[in-house]
Amino acid sequence: MTDAVVSIKDIHKKYGGFGRKVHALRGVSMDVPRGSIFGLLGPNGAGKSTLVKILITAVKRSSGTGTVLGKPIGRKDTLAKVGYLPEHHNLPKHLTGRQVIEFFGAMAKMPRASRRSRADELLDLVRMREWHNKKVGGYSKGMRQRIGIAQALVADPDLVILDEPTDGVDPSGRRDIRLVLQQMRDEGRTVFINSHLLGELEQVCDAVAIMHKGRVVSLGTIEQLTEGMLRYEIEIEGELDAAGATFGRALPEALGKGQSAGPSPTAELAPPTDAGLAKRVGLRGELATGESVEVHGNRLWIGTTEAATIQPVLDAIRAKGGVIREVHKHRPSLEDLFMQAVEDDDSPGAARASSRGQGGRP
């Protein structure tokens, strides 16, 4: 690690006591590269909020080390260059939008003149100029979210931590927020986002960490995480049974090393599914060149990104009378990655598997 804005190592957090201890974080390590948009994913109770709160000093870690902006976690002076928007934030309802921004600017020790001019800039940025003198109590949720983002940015932070920034925001507002995030990255800021909206994150994140049960189970850039998961998908026409039969006839020819110990293709073909990589049932095998092959209903997945590799398979299918409807290169979505990481972690032997995420560096 050379230029990490957030660098943490083996962070543990235990809550409670007297037999009610909750181990919220179990040795979390990660580096967040400078100038990136970093997504933190995980199901409820994964420990995301605890991790974020440790970074902003609202929660004290039980053990572990780390730095934020190059200084040890917990240093208050560092926080002058950190902007934060909590999930379910309660902005002071007795203040106007402008006053909220200026108040948090003052809390970051900004002089009055700077606060005023920065508030003007941010009101324009989040498109709240028209409402700046109205009390926050009268704002819609989306408007409050915009002001929340503006207050997080008021001190011109190097690191912006946003917890569910698009929560409650309409599609147009979400697009605006996405643009703001990209603008922040372009300005050299690092954005750390905790969100459930995987589609939103996928559009903006450079790297993600997936947390589950207090551990990082997957960590890296989206390219890194999808490496080895890119595939070609071949879909043929026909009913399931017929498609299964076609594959059953074609595959033994296509597979160099023979079928796996899976069930007969005609006997137990799985129904078509959109559930993603987790539903791997049916035929499995490997091409002579080592790429994996799986049958999913009337679709065939081939673990390669090389068009040349799939040509013998296409030939074999056609030779056995199969009509190819579609061939496309498939890239897993963030949701696919998320589900796979979480389900892998829940599977037996997860402790071993999860260790790949522990020391990972995007």
Partner 1 sequence: MIIQTMALLVDAYRELCAKRLFWITMILNSLVVVVFAMVSINENGMKFLIWQMPADFAGVTITSETMPPGLLYRTMFAALAVPWWLRWVAVILGLISTAGMIPDLIQGGTIESVLSRPIGRIRLLLTKFVGGLLFMTLQVFVFSLLVFLVIGIRGKSWAPEVFLAVPIVVTMFSYLFAVCVLIGLLTRSTIAALLLTAVVWAAIILVNAGDLFSVSIHENIKAELRLEQAKVDRRERNATLAILGERNAEREAEGLEPLEALDPAPTSSELEARDIRLPVTKLRVRELEASESIASRWRRVIYFVKAVLPKTGETIALLGRWTIDEEEFARLGAPPPSDDRQRVAQEGSEATAEEFDNRPLWWVLGTSFAFVSVVLGIAALIFRRRDF
- Please, are residues 244 and 250 in contact by the beta-carbon 8 Å criterion? no
d(CA 201, CA 53): 20
Establish if 6 lies at the interface with partner 1 (CB under 8 A): no
Q: How many residues bind partner 1 (CB under 8 A)?
A: 38
Tell me the C-alpha to C-alpha distance, in Å, between residue 235 and each of 193, 318, 327: 37, 12, 6
Structure tokens at 31: 């580096």
Give the nearest distance from C-beta 9 to partner 1 in angstroms.
20
Q: Does residue 71 belong to the site contacting partner 1 (CB under 8 A)? A: no
For partner 1, give the closer residue by CB, 74 or 312.
74
Query: Does residue 108 belong to the site contacting partner 1 (CB under 8 A)?
Result: yes
DSSP class per residue in 210-236: EEETTEEEEEEEHHHHHTTT-EEEEEE
Residue 99 engages partner 1 in binding (rule: CB under 8 A)? yes
Residue type, 180: V
Could you give phi then psi for residue 343, rounded to 5 degrees? -70, -35
Whole-angstrom distance, CA of residue 176 vs CA of residue 182: 10
Distance CA 326, CA 323 (A): 9
- Residues 185-214 within binding reach of partner 1 (CB under 8 A): none
Nearer to partner 1, 58 or 240 (CB): 58
Nearest approach, Cβ of residue 138 and partner 1 (Å): 12
Between 17 and 258, CB nearer to partner 1: 17
**Rounded distance, CA 223 to CA 344, Å?**
19
Pairing of β 159-163 and β 82-85: parallel
Stretch that binds partner 1, among 70-78, 224-232, 325-333, 344-352 (CB under 8 A): 70-78
Q: Is 15 in the site for partner 1 (CB under 8 A)?
A: yes
Say which DSSP state 185 is in. Answer: H
Task: For residues 198 and 342, give the distance between their C-alpha atoms in angstroms, rounded to a whole number.
Answer: 14
- Using the minimum distance from each CB to partner 1, give the nearer residue, 59 or 350: 59
Contact between 110 and partner 1 (CB under 8 A)?
yes
Q: Does 60 bind partner 1 (CB under 8 A)?
A: yes
Q: Is 80 in the site for partner 1 (CB under 8 A)?
A: yes
User: Is 141 a binder of partner 1 (CB under 8 A)?
Assistant: no
Residues that bind partner 1 (CB under 8 A): 15, 53, 56-60, 76-80, 82-95, 99, 103-104, 106-112, 151, 161
